[in-house]
Amino acid sequence: MPIYSKSLQRLISALHCLPGIGPKSAQRLAFHILKSSRAEANELAQSILAAKEKMKSCSVCGNITDSDPCLICDDSTRDGSTICVVEQPQDIFIFEKMGEYKGTYHVLMGALSPLDGVGPDDLKIKELVTRIEQDKIKEVIIATNPNVEGEATAAYLSKLIKPLGVKVTQLAQGMPMGSDLEYADEVTLAKALEGRREI
């Protein structure tokens, strides 16, 4: 005998497909949805369908948006001569939450990873080069993740872009604020030492 009735099992399976949602969480969420009001459950389902329907990639920067170009590319008060290169659309939101950056973005849609078969042609690198050449870009800030793939991608991009005559920078690497030397890993500490500044 199946433990769950069909519709419940279907809902639990669908929720279980989400990242970070194990079988226990999926069950908890499913029961929450069953207990919630019809309006609430409807809103959840409809927002999924609407997002999937309306959201697309910005044709300029690759940001996820429901208008094209996206709100950031379309904002004339932003500095159009600086591009911050990120791996994923969600990285843009992290920068925007921080609020200190007023330039534009470019989403690579991944990082170089030969082991996973991701080469330069699989990333939005051609599009980046075209933008640099056409839009009189002055500075490209590379903000790929500080891991093996991200670092390789940054090195590749730097080699490719510098000859175009633009300034290429990368996010500083070192000790995170609020951390403790005692718990720093060696790679981070080495990067912090290497990047030490006079004060």
Tokens of 3: 């433990």
Q: Give the residue, chosen from 46, 130, 147, 179, that forms a contact with a second copy under the rule CB under 8 A.
A: 46
Strands 79-86 and 103-107, sheet pairing: parallel
Report the distance separating Cα 83 and Cα 73, nearest Å.
Answer: 11
Q: In the beta sheet, which residues pair with residue 107?
A: 86
What is the full DSSP assignment across 101-144?
--EEEEE-SS--BGGGTB-GGGTTHHHHHHHHHHTT--EEEE--
**Stretch touching a second copy by CB under 8 A, among 83-91, 154-162, 178-186, 189-197:** 83-91
Should residue 100 be labelled a site residue for a second copy when binding is judged by CB under 8 A?
no
CB of 13 to a second copy, least distance (A): 8
Helix axes 23-35, 6-16, angle to 10 degrees: 120
CB of 49 to a second copy, least distance (A): 5
Report the distance separating Cα 106 and Cα 110, nearest Å.
Answer: 11
Should residue 193 be labelled a site residue for a second copy when binding is judged by CB under 8 A?
no
Q: Give the residue, chosen from 96, 127, 139, 151, that forms a contact with a second copy under the rule CB under 8 A.
A: 96
Q: Which is nearer to a second copy, 28 or 191 (CB)?
A: 28
Q: Give the residue, chosen from 61, 93, 163, 199, that forms a contact with a second copy under the rule CB under 8 A.
A: 93
Should residue 97 be labelled a site residue for a second copy when binding is judged by CB under 8 A?
yes
User: Would you tell me which residues interact with a second copy (CB under 8 A)?
Assistant: 1-8, 10-11, 13-15, 17-21, 25, 27-34, 36, 38, 40-55, 64-67, 70-71, 75, 88-90, 93, 96-97
